[in-house]
Chain A
Amino acid sequence: MKKLIVATFLSIVLVLSFAVTAPAKEIKIGVLLPLSGPLAPTGKSLKEGADLAADIINGKYPDLKISIAQWEGIPSLGGAKIKLVYADHRADAGWGADQAKRLIEDEKVTGLFGCYNSAVTKTASVEAERAAIPFVNPDSTSPALTKRGFTWFWRVTPHETWFTADLFNFLDGLAAGKARGVGPVGKEQINTLAVAVENTEWGAASLTEIEKFAAEHGYKIVEALKYPKEAADLTSEARRMMASKADCYLFAPYVADAILFIKTLKEMRATPKLIWGQDAGFIVPDFYKTLGAAVNGILTRDLFSPELGKAKPEAAKINEMYKKRTGFDFSGSSARDFVGIQVWAHALNSAGSTDPKAIQKALNELYISSDELIMPWKGVRFGSPFPGDTHQNELGSGVINQYQGWPDGKLHVIYPFEFSTANLIYPFPGWK
């Protein structure tokens, strides 16, 4: 009898100790996205990008020549599957922080991911910092986010400083005749700028960067306005842009306000020489789907173009998978969320543990090469590419694309000039 009791006790201890030490079968990552409200369409496409990456990591895709497609889970964690636990932050910074806390305390997630809106990323990442768990940000571009000295926050995407530098290098190149299919335009033709940005963290940061680079490159900002992204009407803002008689209109909008702004400018028959959008609202499928031919000639800074598939066959294959699921090509935003989950997987695999400190070390030392990525980047490695940055991917880069031939057209790469896939349409053709 005594032997039986001892054997039973030992069995229980053995089972329990196995349960404690055995690798987790599922690794929960809390994903914060705007899944309701005016940004819900964007949130949906980001979720689809993240879901596709998780499915590729958890399944087996021998045809894809990237490592996560061969893993069937996280190899160093016994094939543990990644489970994305979503929370809707409604594009509300306060609510986003509450949701981050809920994911950490109630859902016991291994780490956090998101949030797209820079303002929400700012507050939610504070919760991760307090709890000392990793927060990987794939898609928020306010430069301030990586200048806070946080030890649990890593950003994969390039930020506005890169993108704005790209814009002004593009304008300089256009003036000097470097743009494909367009002769030298002359700086005096594109010298004046009107800037409209939504009035949260991201828009304000975009405007600051534009002001800084405009001064450095010798361009004149003749109108600069911030507007609420939930505006019921943007007539007076559109009127201000037109009254400025600026050569170039520059925008940093989210999707609903981007659509409303372009519709209003079209109805008011605005005739700028160039329209450029700071990604976000200008690259969401709803933007080109709802505006149709009205998007032709509009430029947007971006991170992805289906045309890049010509140089990166794996990007083309993964884009096809995404398109099959959603009906749309990857946008720069959904592609970044795909890459962000990929970064999580590589970090977990390097860490070989779900211990936050091990993941922290893995992220700090992480290197993912360009051929693993669908983006036209040199890779992923966290460092300090601009003064004050910490844990910022220093191998990223952006592109400037142009809508051509819509409603059934393409988003062509225009800048960097050496990678352009079509002639630039210049000046902006206007709306009939």
Chain B
Amino acid sequence: MLLPFVIITDLRKMELAIELILFGILMGLIFAFISLGLALIFGVMNIVNFAHGEFLMVGMYVGLLTSTYLRLDPFLSLPIAAAMGFLLGIASYRLLIKDILRGPMVAQLFGTFGLMLFLRYLAMFIFGPDIRTVSSGILVGKSVSLGWVALDLSKVVAAGLCLGLFVVVYWIINRTKLGRALRATSLDAEAARYMGIDTEKMNALAWGIGGATVGIAGGLLAHFYYITPTVGMVFILIAFATVALGGFGSISGTFIAGLIIGLIQVIGGQYLSELKFTFIYLTYFLTVVFRPRGLFGW
């Protein structure tokens, strides 16, 4: 008598599990890609970029402004967001980071913290505190049905693109001459200099590539998330938790950690929503205490 009920219950449980895993992977890929630039910059230069969330915010505003004023589809504005992120990264390095690197560790921390405040309040000055969203675009506001579950098309495409770009960055770092030079700089900058590598250029490039990836992440996020000068605050702590969990400087670690954080926040939201951040930061805390180098760090 109870068999049909048990089957239905199990079917519902299975559907729920599949949904949660799907949602978790989608958001996880996006979190991982947002965190990639942070891991990259730390990997090459051992410096934590507190302004990373603001770089993301710049990418989001690029998506918004190009779609609003140039009537360009926000998806097509991704190369512009990447270019802006790249230039912002290079400019930050040349105008600020290069000099504070000579100072003590605390100067580096306060330097990027200052950059964060500068970018945030510059945006506040230019755009005001208003919340905006991208209202039109080939992906905006569209859903795709996967059987019983409807997924936001822009999230699906964003997650797919994040996966693809992760592979590209991984390939650049691990399979190209440029990547070898970046890795050599990160392992021993002085030795790399003796070997003829322009470490200054490598540092700038790390900031540029980091800026470009988070710029693209911002452009993708603009499709489905609200945009405001303080939006970086929402994501920077998640990015820190992701990078710490994956291992500072590890690209593959960031990827895996992003997926784990995505799943934690979705599953946490399902069962104990008010504590969903607590689970993320607990993971961060436990990682720092028991495995400070993270899952894949050195």
Contacts and interface: CB of A to CB of B under 8 A. Distances in A.
A77 interface: no
A259 B270 CA distance: 20
B143 A268 contact: yes
A226 interface: yes
B224 interface: yes
A272 to B, nearest CB: 15
A43 B129 contact: yes
Contacts of B132: 286, 289-290
Contacts of A44: 128-130
B230 A232 contact: no
A197 to B, nearest CB: 9
B152 interface: yes
B131 A256 contact: yes
A38 B143 CA distance: 27
Interface in A18-51: 35-38, 40-41, 43-44
A227 B274 contact: yes
Interface string B120-152: 000010001111110100000101000000111
Contact of B265 (A232, A267, A268): A232
Contacts of B274: 199, 225-228
B266 A235 contact: yes
Interface residues of B, number: 40
B217 interface: no
A269 B145 CA distance: 10
Contacts of B141: 266-267
B277 interface: yes
Interface stretch (B198-206, B233-241, B290-298): B233-241
A252 B226 CA distance: 19
Contacts of A102: none
B185 interface: no
The number of chain A residues touching the other chain, given as a range, is: 35 or more
A311 interface: no
A228 B265 CA distance: 11
Contact of B23 (A239, A286, A290, A292): A239
B276 interface: yes
B179 interface: no
Given A231-B276, A236-B20, A286-B130, A263 B224 contact: yes
Contacts of A256: 131, 226, 228
Contacts of B155: 267
Contacts of A236: 20, 23, 265-270, 273, 276
Contacts of A235: 23, 27, 266, 269
B73 interface: no
A199 B275 CA distance: 9
A107 interface: no
Contact of A227 (B124, B152, B267, B269): B269
A269 B265 CA distance: 22
Contact of B228 (A41, A234, A292): A41
Nearest to A268: B150
A225 B273 contact: yes
Interface in A243-276: 243, 255-256, 259-260, 263-264, 266-269
A230 B278 CA distance: 13
Interface centre among B16, B226, B267 (most CB of A within 10 A): B226
Given A233-B265, A267-B141, 11 more contacts: A199-B274, A228-B277, A231-B269, A232-B27, A236-B23, A236-B266, A239-B23, A267-B143, A267-B151, A268-B143, A289-B132
30 contacts: A35-B129, A36-B124, A36-B129, A38-B228, A38-B230, A38-B233, A40-B228, A41-B131, A41-B228, A199-B273, A199-B274, A225-B274, A227-B273, A228-B277, A231-B269, A231-B276, A232-B234, A235-B27, A236-B20, A236-B266, A236-B270, A259-B131, A260-B225, A263-B224, A267-B155, A267-B224, A286-B130, A289-B130, A290-B131, A290-B135
Q: Lowest 3 CB-CB distances: which A-B pairs, in order? A: A40-B129, A236-B269, A267-B152
